[in-house]
Amino acid sequence: MTAPVSSVSSPLASAVAAPQPGSESFEARVHALIETVIRPRLQRDNGDIRVDRIEDNRIYVTLDGACVGCQLSSITLSGIQQRLMEGIGRPVRVIPSHVIDASSAPRRPTRVAVAAIEGTPS
């Protein structure tokens, strides 16, 4: 008598069924995972994520909200990358496009009266 075949899927089996990078189904799965799994977790901590573009297996994202300037944002990106690889079944690379930062906005020069610099005459 032979042993029953296990229903546990192997990583190889999931890679065969995974969508090819660059295909519409790949991009749809990335967006679905971002919207249903990743974004809600970031928003619980007042952060957010936006997918800027997808090129092959590279996913360019922008972190926003509390993620801006956070010292753990690189760890967050690694976690996002891991979660996407698990959900897609293929290796992907999550790359930050840029970080939205209010301090990087163009600033107007401050005008100071010359009398204030030189001191007012007594």
85 in any annotated domain: yes
The pLDDT assigned to 11 comes to 46
Q: For the domain that residue 81 is a member of, what is the CATH number?
A: 3.30.300.130
The pLDDT assigned to 114 comes to 57
CA dihedral 104, 108, 114, 120 (to 10 degrees): -70
Full residue range of the structural domain in which residue 76 is found: 11-101
Quote the number of domains for the chain: 1
Mean pLDDT by 10 residues, the chain (122 residues): 45 56 84 95 94 92 90 93 94 82 49 58 56
71 in any annotated domain: yes
The pLDDT assigned to 63 comes to 93
The pLDDT assigned to 18 comes to 77
Q: For the CA atoms of the chain, what is the radius of gyration?
A: 24
The pLDDT assigned to 14 comes to 45
